[in-house]
Amino acid sequence: MADSTTTVSVTGVSPLTGRTEEWMEQLLADPEQVAGLVSEHGSPVNVLDFAPLARNARELIDAAAEADVRLGVYVARKANKALGLVRSARDAGLGLDVASHAELRQCLELDVPGSAIIVTAAVKSRPLLEEAMGAGAVISLDNGDELEDVLELARERDEAPRVALRLASSDPDLRPTRFGLTAAAWDAALADAGVAGRLRIEGVHFHLDGYSAADRATVLREALAWVDRLREGGHDISFIDMGGGVPMRYLDDAAEWRAFWERLEGDAAGSLTWRGDRLGMVDPGADRPSPTVYPYWQRTVRGEWLREVLQAPAGERSTIAREISERGLELRCEPGRSVLDGCGLTLAEVVFRKATSDGVPIVGLHMNRTQVRSTSTDFMVDPRWVRPASAGEPSPAFEGFLVGAYCVEDELILRRKLRFAEGAARGDIAAFVNTGGYLMHILESASHQIPLAATVVREDGEWVRDGIDALA
Ligand SMILES: *Cc1c(COP(=O)(O)O)cnc(C)c1O
């Protein structure tokens, strides 16, 4: 099990200890293997083992089954670009949610059946629509112009494409959205276009910002009522797709999460973060203290969270679960982050130790900040630290920050101050754990013409280069 004695201690000044998987601990306990991955593939390197994906999806499917609900899991392809993700989802019998033509094509080339794919791309080119139609994938329609494009293709090809309608909630308590149309707007658009017989409208789709179970229940109630009306209008609706946003935890310890934000609130000297950054903090006592920082610890996640959604009230003394199963509907979801929980880590090598002109110690990593970053203001998980035999002489203990390769003052890898209890050495390797969902790829850039990081996946016990790097 975890043998952290072989890793060197680096923690946040206010620690945030990352949750790890057994495979990560085994790798981190072998500094020479870690160093070998970096020397073979360069720094940083993204390391993936997709074994936890099926288990994470199963947790959702089982939670739904307990409530008598059939759940279809369509893994959000955009959360990690490795082709290994597609293979693992396919082999686990899961579907895929694709956001571009390239994502769709790769899935089809890897023998994912079209019927196991939903196309949710926010902008849909004609070639994407043609390929989706040819493959028999469900297309989630966002707006009236897209409806027109699809109807035109349907006419040309003389076939009725499979579609879902993306629902924008009209509930005044939810945040307005740019995605989808309200049910009323869809009803009008469908009537105008005269879609009867020309489209197979099979489902109602939505995807919400944030991670609130109550918000999902609200829109599911709205979707259920709309399904009834669509069915009365002759459409053979078989599913409601509630999108992604299934929450996960990066940290096991709620106390560490709360302590960080309480300390940050009292940190008048700005000693906890880079130049006193407040990280968007609004309410230090809340589970999500900052609206711009992902809730790295949260109370209910995955299966338990889905149970909450399904047990929410609906109809007259009924529940969402009962209303779904009584209509013979399948519930679908498109989790990205939460099914990639435990699937990845990112390794980067130390190139320098120094101090800023005003004396703030910094450690330079051979990576840039887009390589361990999502839309969250910061990645709030402490790195693990590996010191291979090839590392140089470590510095004395100190507190400081990790910086990267882009030529801007604000090029911080993490915005929290870290304590290097055993110093830092050239050739040390920082390991960012649990970066499989979004943290590797969603914002990565090759600015300054620095190449993108290599993607390495575990296949039959071996680390091999993922095929996506050859396609890029
Ligand atoms: C991004 C996205 C998802 C995945 O969201 P997660 O938060 O990773 O679960 C699913 N569906 C759609 C339409 C998306 O845009």
CATH number of residue 229's parent domain: 3.20.20.10
Measured by CA distance, the residue closest to atom 2 of ligand 1 is 244
What pLDDT, on the 0 to 100 scale, is given for residue 303? 98
Any atom of ligand 1 within 6 Å of the Cβ of 34: no
Cβ(400) – ligand 1 distance below 6 Å: no
Residue 255 maps to a domain = no
Residue-level pLDDT at 385 = 98
When divided into structural domains, the chain yields a total of 2
From ligand 1's centre to the CA of 210, what distance in Å? Answer: 10
Query: Which among 334, 434, 441 is the best mutation to test ligand 1's pocket, defined by most ligand atoms within 8 Å of the CB?
Result: 334
- Whether residue 43 is contained in a domain is answered as yes
Nearest CA to ligand 1 atom 10: 244
| Dist. CA 172 → ligand 1 center (Å) | 22
97 CA distance to ligand 1 middle (Å): 8
Query: Could you identify the atom of ligand 1 that is nearest to the CA of residue 205?
Result: 13
Number of the ligand 1 atom closest to the C-alpha atom of 340? 8
- What is the whole-number distance in angstroms between the Cα of residue 338 and the centre of ligand 1? 10
Is the same domain home to 234 and 381? no
> Considering the entire predicted model, what is its pTM?
0.96
* Residue 2 pLDDT: 40
Residue 193 Cα to ligand 1 midpoint, Å, equals 29
**Together in a domain, 114 and 95:** yes
Domain membership flag for residue 321: yes
Collapse the DSSP code of 415 into the 3-class scheme (helix H, G, I; strand E, B; otherwise coil) and give the result: coil
**Binding site membership of 362 for ligand 1 (Cβ less than 6 Å):** no
If asked whether residues 78 and 218 sit together in one domain, one would say yes
CATH value at residue 350? 2.40.37.10
- The answer to whether residue 446 is domain-embedded is yes
The ligand 1 atom at the shortest distance from the C-alpha of residue 179 is 13
Q: Are both 169 and 299 inside the same structural domain?
A: yes
Looking at 266-352, list the stretches that DSSP marks H as alpha helix, in order from N- to C-terminal side. 302-311, 320-326
Domain range enclosing 111: 51-248+295-333
Q: Is residue 128 part of a domain?
A: yes
Residue nearest to atom 3 of ligand 1 (CA): 244
The verdict on 328 and 354 lying in the same domain is no
- 107 and 196 belong to one structural domain: yes
Residue 256 lies in a domain: no
- Strand partners of residue 319: 313
Q: Which residues pair with 181 in a beta bridge?
A: 167
83 and 166 together in one domain: yes
CA distance linking residue 372 with residue 457, whole number of Å: 17
How many whole angstroms from 142 Cα to the centroid of ligand 1? Answer: 15
Please report whether residue 262 resides in a domain.
Answer: no
Write down the residue that tokens 């975890």 correspond to. Answer: 2
The preferred substitution site among 142, 207, 246, 332 for testing ligand 1, maximizing ligand atoms within 8 Å of CB, is: 207
Residues 56 and 41 in one domain: no
Q: Rounded to the nearest whole angstrom, what is the distance from the C-alpha of residue 183 to the centroid of ligand 1?
A: 21
Say if ligand 1 is within 6 A of residue 244 CB: yes
CB 365 within 8 A of CB 432: no
Residues 142, 12 share a domain:
no
186 CA from centroid of ligand 1 (Å): 22
- Residue among 85, 98, 46 nearest 373 (CA): 46
Q: Of the residues 307, 333, 359, which one is the last residue of a structural domain? A: 333
Report the atom number in ligand 1 closest to the C-alpha of 244: 9
Residue 182: inside a domain, yes or no? yes
Could you identify the atom of ligand 1 that is nearest to the CA of residue 338?
9
How many Å apart are CA 259 and CA 380, to the nearest integer? Answer: 13
What is the residue-level pLDDT of the chain in tens, covering all 472 positions? 344 446 799 999 999 999 999 999 999 999 999 999 999 999 999 999 999 999 999 999 999 999 999 999 999 999 999 999 999 999 999 999 999 999 999 999 999 999 999 999 999 999 999 999 999 999 999 999 999 999 999 999 999 999 999 999 999 999 999 999 999 999 999 999 988 889 999 999 999 999 999 999 999 999 999 999 999 999 999 999 999 999 999 999 999 999 999 999 999 999 999 999 999 999 999 989 999 999 999 999 999 999 999 999 998 899 999 999 999 999 999 999 999 999 999 999 999 999 999 999 999 999 999 999 999 999 999 999 999 999 999 999 999 999 999 999 999 999 999 999 999 999 999 999 999 999 999 999 999 999 999 999 999 999 999 999 999 7
Q: How many CB atoms lie within 10 A of CB 121?
A: 21
- Per the CB < 8 A criterion, the answer to whether 361 and 400 are in contact is yes
Q: Ligand 1 centroid vs 326 CA: distance in angstroms? A: 27
Q: Are residues 364 and 461 in the same domain?
A: yes
Half-sphere exposure of 136 (CA within 13 A, CB side): 5
CB of 120 within 6 A of ligand 1: the answer is yes
Query: Which ligand 1 atom sits nearest the alpha carbon of residue 79?
Result: 8
- Same domain, yes or no, for 91 and 43? no
Res 6: pLDDT: 63
Q: How far is the CA of 211 from the centre of ligand 1 (A)?
A: 11
Q: Is the CB of 334 under 6 A from ligand 1?
A: yes
Q: 450 and 460: one domain? A: yes
Distance CA 12, CA 415 (A): 10
For residue 197, the model assigns a pLDDT of: 86
**Reduced 3-state DSSP string for 151-214:** HHHHHHHCCCCEEEEEECCCCCCCCCCCCCECHHHHHHHHHHHCCCCCCEEEEEECCCCCCCHH
**C-alpha 460 – ligand 1 centre gap (Å):** 29
